[in-house]
Structure 1
């Protein structure tokens, strides 16, 4: 029994070393004495453990190489399928019906006038790449395939593996076939170039017309914005991005009390984001108004937080005001002219620090930057004003109901000259009293 197991062990080592049954007759056996109480197979395994382990690692490496090459073949197949699809599109364009002398597709007199549907189809054709671009893409893809093939050749020389050589031959044949197909398509396109000339000219005319129309629209929008009154405008933050915001050109002075008021309109979920944030060196959350995620709207002063009882994410305009004084950290929250909540101990005896950066539409993680798209304001904002005093309930009510002429903030007033826009938030006309009628 021990002899049979020993032979099995020897066969295992022999096959691990890369031998076969036919090589047994050419193999020399070395006899080594071992202790009587030691297992023969264990001794045989120990005697060849070093070489067997090295060859085993080599076999595993070769197997991993073969697997990598299989994955390369799959990638090349996917590339070949993409090339075939592009060639088909190129061929379909080259086989299109020629233009007649009148610049129309099909038989003479088939269309007397351009219709809206025809214009729409022509505009749709602009989105497709011309044959020359398609051929450039095919050439670039073929060059990539050749580069990968050269890498495979270098790899095959360093590993001397027959499997890699076979893969190289397969890829070379595929590339040769693709080159022949591309050359054939190029010849066909070159032959049809005169027929494509009219199409190119027509495409150029349409592109020129669209460019002119775009410039006219831009000029009209610019003129409308320039004609707006200084304070009768709103900012529309339509997207939740980290680059769309407005910067107030003035900073805040040191303040021991304040009132901040604005008009807001939003239906964004979850949370409308950050209508404004004020950061100073060393403290990005010196003064912040934010509604983030499913949390209620909050006001932060020096990283201290008070939850505000506002319900304004209904897609309608709302007037909100927040007052605060450093003495005992007393605060009040007004919505649409009415007191909705109050509290105390919000950053008590901490004055608002000066020389900071005031941003509309983004929350600052660093001074003047570090914006996070998930905290960006989505909605419309107007009449952002700050006072260095606590407005009375009557004054807040008059602002919200337009009972009297609106008073501007004595620290920050809503004016186009005080706002610098980044990332193109839209600016449109806004009349506060019209929103509540």
Structure 2
């Protein structure tokens, strides 16, 4: 696994002094019990996130009402929201890459865990969400685009500027587990295998079992029982 360099580590400590650096979340769940403007988990990628394609998967549960906007995943560089995944106020699930987003009508997120994946590739712009191993219709979104590296990935909060500008009304409340990310689009069979808990190639950007992460605020790490 990749260890964050000293400059990054020190800058994060300066802005958010109450954090704990940890490694590996195999058989663990992140619990965000309260709405806050300060609780988050920073994920440290294993490689630079200069991406022309990706698959992002996670298992997520929440009891927040559908009319409440929720950030599910946020990756921001100094000037741009490089990759943000949201549940919108109207219940749709969306993702944004440096500008206007792409919106999908999916089964609702509930108190019961949902397996959720997102795939995108730059060559064609084809993007889709996968819920419980089933693919949404494709949308074409930002063909030719490249996600830029040297940013910060947060769970639980949406930074409106780099490592700042957090808002409680957008925070995530609920549980996240088994988050993995690859720098390519997984096949249908691989996404379905991941959904059912079968062995798949380890995420080469984020692998839940070995992931490096930093906790801040009221976030709990509990056994996945």
Scaled to the shorter chain, the TM-score interval is 0.7 to 0.9
Q: Report if aligned partners of 2:71, 2:171 keep a CA contact under 8 Å in 1.
A: yes
Structure 2: gaps (5+ residues) = 1-21
The reply on whether 1:368 has 2:163 as its aligned counterpart is yes
Name which of structure 1's ranges 372-381 and 244-253 shifts more when overlaid on structure 2.
244-253
Closer/same/farther in 2, CA of residues 295 and 303 from structure 1, 3 Å limit? farther
Q: Which of 309, 314, 325 lines up with 2:105 in the alignment? A: 309
Offset, 1:265: 0.7
More strand by share: 2
Structure 1: gaps (5+ residues) = 1-225, 432-437
Distance, in Å, in 1 between the alignment partners of 2:143 and 2:200 is: 30
Q: Report if aligned partners of 1:252, 1:356 keep a CA contact under 8 Å in 2.
A: no
Give the match for residue 149 of structure 2. 354
Closer/same/farther in 2, CA of residues 326 and 419 from structure 1, 3 Å limit? same
Distance, in Å, in 2 between the alignment partners of 1:236 and 1:423 is: 12
**Root mean square deviation, CA, Å:** 2.0
Matches within 5 A, 1:87-126: none
| Structure ranking higher on relative contact order (CA contacts 8 Å, 6+ apart) | 2
For 1:263, what is the secondary structure of its paired residue?
strand
Give the match for residue 343 of structure 1. 139
- Deviation string 1:18-63 (CA, Å, 9 cap, x unpaired) is xxxxxxxxxxxxxxxxxxxxxxxxxxxxxxxxxxxxxxxxxxxxxx
The reply on whether 1:405 has 2:199 as its aligned counterpart is yes
Closer/same/farther in 2, CA of residues 360 and 338 from structure 1, 3 Å limit? same
Closer/same/farther in 2, CA of residues 421 and 307 from structure 1, 3 Å limit? same
Number of corresponding residues: 202
- TM-score of the superposed pair, with normalisation by structure 2: 0.83
Greater CA radius of gyration, 1 or 2? 1
- TM-score of the superposed pair, with normalisation by structure 1: 0.44
Distance, in Å, in 2 between the alignment partners of 1:319 and 1:310 is: 12
Q: Report if aligned partners of 1:334, 1:341 keep a CA contact under 8 Å in 2.
A: no
- Deviation string 1:41-91 (CA, Å, 9 cap, x unpaired) is xxxxxxxxxxxxxxxxxxxxxxxxxxxxxxxxxxxxxxxxxxxxxxxxxxx
Matches within 5 A, 1:83-162: none
Closer/same/farther in 2, CA of residues 304 and 369 from structure 1, 3 Å limit? same
Q: Which of 98, 113, 117 lines up with 1:321 in the alignment? A: 117
Distance, in Å, in 1 between the alignment partners of 2:176 and 2:210 is: 13
Distance, in Å, in 2 between the alignment partners of 1:232 and 1:424 is: 20
For 1:409, what is the secondary structure of its paired residue?
coil
For 1:341, what is the secondary structure of its paired residue?
coil
Distance, in Å, in 2 between the alignment partners of 1:230 and 1:247 is: 13
Closer/same/farther in 2, CA of residues 417 and 391 from structure 1, 3 Å limit? closer
Give the match for residue 274 of structure 1. 71
Give the match for residue 177 of structure 2. 382
Q: Report if aligned partners of 1:248, 1:419 keep a CA contact under 8 Å in 2.
A: yes
Offset, 1:417: 5.0
Distance, in Å, in 2 between the alignment partners of 1:425 and 1:265 is: 15
Which of structure 1's runs of 4+ aligned residues deviate more than 6 A?
none
Offset, 1:416: 6.1
The reply on whether 1:243 has 2:38 as its aligned counterpart is yes
Distance, in Å, in 2 between the alignment partners of 1:252 and 1:231 is: 23
Give the match for residue 9 of structure 2. none
Offset, 1:313: 2.5
